[in-house]
């Protein structure tokens, strides 16, 4: 194979890969249940046994911070019917110094999230109110208040949440009504997303680039042939 033909074959292959790279990935909905997504075995049932707070990463989607995964939380009366046993992610004021009052979901920059829903469980012995706040960068873009969620001993000690916006990059859970005391959990967090738009050439631009590169090489090759003895 001549040098020219070899170069043309390699250039065509490279262009094929570049054109393939601009084919958009499909979006969808991912539900984080802390058992299958991400894949985790049943965890300890108390914060003391769980140890320090945990960062839970869902590859390609985001990270949960501020709390830890507990398994089979029998103190949450409504979890067996409204959660996804055995695991749930939560925080509490008595859990230890590494735990945060807020559970934060930080979204991967590779996707655009337009809706996040799920279930929040009250872990306290009294009725409480919670907030779910969505941000795009530093700007608050949506908020939902979950008022008067029944105590942990009640079969109604849960609330469904759902927030929507054009682009959610961070979701923050809080229990603002009870001062320094807090105890709550989240589960079955559904995240609706599409791939983020990346700065890649359009297919037509790639074709023009390839034709230009081939033309440049051909001119250079002809010049070399003409100057050869």
Complete domains list, the chain, with CATH: 28-195 (2.60.120.430)
Q: How far apart (Å, rounded) are the C-alpha atoms in residues 203 and 16?
A: 10
Element (H, E) at 81: helix 79-82
The pLDDT score that the predictor gives to residue 225 is 55
Whether 61 contacts 105, CB under 8 Å: no
What's the 3-state SS for 43-78?
A: CCCCHHHHCCCEEEEECCCEEEEEEEEEECCCCCCC
Q: How far apart (Å, rounded) are the C-alpha atoms in residues 107 and 66?
A: 15
The pLDDT score that the predictor gives to residue 26 is 75
The pLDDT score that the predictor gives to residue 206 is 47
Structure token digits, residue 182? 């807090």
CA 204 to chain centre: 32
Q: Which residues pair with 189 in a beta bridge?
A: 32
The pLDDT score that the predictor gives to residue 169 is 98
The pLDDT score that the predictor gives to residue 52 is 98
Interaxial angle between packed helices 203-227 and 3-21, expressed in degrees from 0 to 180 and rounded to the nearest 10? 170
Q: Which residues of the chain have pLDDT under 50?
A: 3-4, 7-9, 11-24, 199-200, 206-209, 211, 217-218, 221
The pLDDT score that the predictor gives to residue 203 is 53
The pLDDT score that the predictor gives to residue 180 is 85
pTM value?
A: 0.77
Element (H, E) at 29: strand 28-32
């Amino acid at each position: 194979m001549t040098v020219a033909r070899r170069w043309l074959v390699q250039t065509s292959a490279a262009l094929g890969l570049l054109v393939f790279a601009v084919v958009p990935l499909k979006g969808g909905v991912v539900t984080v249940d802390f058992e299958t997504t991400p894949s985790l075995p049943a965890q300890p049932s108390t914060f003391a046994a769980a140890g320090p707070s945990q960062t839970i990463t869902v590859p390609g989607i985001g990270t949960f911070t501020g709390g830890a995964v507990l398994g089979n939380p029998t103190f949450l009366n409504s979890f067996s019917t409204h959660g996804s046993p055995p695991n749930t992610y939560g925080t509490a004021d008595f859990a230890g110094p590494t735990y945060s009052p807020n559970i934060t979901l930080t979204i991967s920059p590779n996707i655009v999230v337009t809706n996040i829903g799920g279930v929040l469980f009250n872990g306290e012995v009294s009725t409480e109110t919670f907030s779910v706040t969505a941000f795009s960068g530093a700007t608050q873009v949506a908020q939902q208040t979950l008022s008067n969620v029944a105590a942990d001993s009640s079969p109604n000690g849960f609330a469904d949440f759902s927030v929507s916006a054009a682009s959610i990059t961070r979701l923050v859970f809080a229990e603002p009504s009870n001062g320094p005391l807090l105890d709550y959990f989240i589960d079955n967090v559904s995240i609706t997303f599409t791939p983020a738009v990346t700065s890649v050439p359009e297919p037509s631009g790639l074709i023009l680039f390839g034709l230009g590169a081939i033309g440049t090489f051909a001119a250079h090759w002809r010049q070399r042939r003409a100057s050869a003895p």
